[in-house]
């Protein structure tokens, strides 16, 4: 048994939280350290966190600061407040953005966009005001053609944390929506390529390819993904696919089907365009891994957008290029001006870096999960 002094010593050793009082806000520092401990398993599921008073004493911050940190952890779904029990960890690794496993087709029907609440206007407006104040005249400058490096680095770190995609910021290109990026990909890979797209699929994919007058084929979707016979027989050398919840069918490619896509792409001069527009809202216990992270062939172009996760009016998308295509893009297409205003790029950078973006994603995912399970 420990005496009181030994108990306090053990508690201090267990926490090891260091707060730099020169850096504000203090509660975010504490929150990030506790969250890291939870994710690492140092606080396991159903484990009680230290009391607000003891944690405040050990870290030298106010109880209000600890309350704010705990409130943020509650808001994100890492812990919950229980009467007479304090704050208890409710996070399990299967609740996070996982990178493997099969999708439960029980809920494969595509959700209506209205099911996703838009990003809180109060948070967005506050961030805009802060960016205007802090960045000032810098916002009047022309954006680099591939996008502001600050945003590209923020996306780089976000993808590494949440989607298992580890790339350099130089591989990321910012653009105003997916259609713009589709056009850049056509120019990058060449108009002599034959493209294969899912049927049915997002109608603008076919519209862009038709408008650019390139050859394309429609490959039928089955419950597990693209029909294997159609994929094996296609003359295409570029596969455009949405492995997670393809629109409008809601079909998610199984793990074996995703490996089939990768095997298809292993022949020379073949590419995959991975349209991952809805993966952030996965509610499966084992969400799908990306083709980009799964492939060792350096031939997957990864696409995503913030129009779905923040607001349809925010026309900001991005693509991640295979490393060997970066020089070709810079040489042949680097003259294209970035179509996203500098101001909005800095706003999005701030939302990602301060955690507001991921907090919104977590809130929406919890709401979707509750809705699904409340209906059986």
Please give the distance of CA 262 from its chain centroid, rounded to a whole number. 21
Please tell me whether the peptide bond between 333 and the residue prior to it is cis, using omega within 30 degrees of 0: no
Q: State the alpha helices, DSSP H only, in 136-254.
A: 149-162, 178-189, 203-211, 228-233
Q: Does domain 121-362 have CATH number 3.10.129.10?
A: no
Per-residue pLDDT of the chain (376 residues; tens, 9 = 90+): 444 434 333 333 355 898 998 887 888 889 889 988 887 888 888 899 999 999 999 999 999 999 988 887 876 567 888 888 899 988 765 433 323 333 333 334 444 444 456 788 899 999 999 999 999 998 999 999 999 999 999 999 999 988 889 999 999 999 998 899 999 999 999 999 999 999 999 999 999 999 999 999 999 999 889 999 999 999 999 999 999 889 999 898 877 788 899 999 998 899 999 999 887 777 543 445 799 998 999 999 999 999 888 888 888 999 999 999 999 999 999 999 999 999 999 999 999 999 999 888 888 877 776 665 554 4
Q: Find out whether 275 and 241 touch, Cβ atoms under 8 Å.
A: yes
Handedness of CA 249, 253, 258, 264 (dihedral sign): negative
d(CA 305, CA 191): 24
Q: What is the pLDDT of residue 224?
A: 85
In the chain, list all ranges with CATH 3.40.640.10: 121-362
In the chain, list all ranges with CATH 1.10.10.10: 4-91
Q: What is the pLDDT of residue 61?
A: 93
Q: What is the pLDDT of residue 166?
A: 93
Strand residues in 161-214 grouped as ranges (E): 172-175, 194-199
In terms of pTM, does the model score above 0.75? no
Tokens of 59: 């870290």
d(CA 227, CA 219): 7
Q: Which helix (H) or strand (E) holds 229?
A: helix 228-233
Q: Find out whether 131 and 350 touch, Cβ atoms under 8 Å.
A: yes
Q: Find out whether 219 and 227 touch, Cβ atoms under 8 Å.
A: yes
d(CA 73, CA 321): 34
Domain boundaries 4-91, CATH class:
mainly alpha
């Amino acid at each position: 048994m420990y005496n009181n002094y030994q108990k306090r010593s053990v508690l201090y050793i267990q926490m090891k939280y260091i707060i730099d009082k020169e850096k504000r806000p203090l509660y975010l520092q504490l929150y990030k350290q506790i969250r890291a401990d939870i994710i690492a398993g140092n606080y396991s599921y159903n484990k009680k966190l230290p009391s607000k008073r003891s944690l405040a004493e050990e870290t030298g911050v106010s109880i209000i600061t600890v309350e704010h940190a705990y409130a943020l952890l509650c808001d994100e779904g890492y812990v919950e407040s229980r009467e007479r029990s304090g704050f208890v960890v409710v996070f399990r690794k299967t609740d996070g953005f996982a990178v493997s496993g099969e999708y439960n087709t029980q809920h494969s029907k595509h959700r209506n966009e209205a099911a996703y609440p838009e990003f809180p206007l109060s948070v967005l407006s506050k961030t805009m005001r802060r960016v205007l104040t802090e960045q000032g005249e810098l916002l009047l400058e022309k954006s680099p053609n591939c996008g502001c490096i600050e945003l590209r680095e923020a996306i780089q770190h976000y993808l590494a944390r949440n989607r298992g995609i580890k790339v350099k910021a130089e591989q990321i290109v910012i653009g105003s929506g997916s259609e713009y990026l589709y056009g850049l990909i056509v120019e990058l890979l060449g108009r002599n390529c034959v493209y294969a797209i899912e049927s049915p699929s997002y109608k603008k994919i076919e519209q862009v390819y038709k408008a650019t007058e390139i050859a394309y084929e429609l490959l039928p979707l089955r419950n597990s993904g693209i029909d294997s016979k159609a994929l094996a027989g296609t003359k295409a050398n570029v596969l455009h696919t949405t492995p997670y919840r393809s629109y409008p069918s809601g079909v998610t490619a199984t793990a074996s089907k995703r490996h089939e896509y990768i095997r298809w792409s292993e022949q020379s001069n073949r590419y995959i365009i991975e349209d991952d527009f809805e993966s952030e809202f996965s509610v499966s216990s084992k969400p799908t891994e990306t083709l980009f992270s799964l492939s060792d062939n350096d031939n997957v172009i990864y696409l995503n957008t913030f129009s779905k996760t923040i607001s349809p009016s925010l026309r900001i998308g991005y693509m991640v290029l295979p490393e060997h295509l970066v020089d070709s893009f810079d040489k042949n297409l680097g003259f294209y001006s970035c179509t996203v205003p500098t101001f909005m790029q800095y706003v999005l950078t701030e939302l990602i870096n301060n955690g507001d973006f991921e907090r919104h994603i977590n809130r929406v995912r919890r709401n979707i999960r509750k809705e699904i399970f409340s209906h059986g």
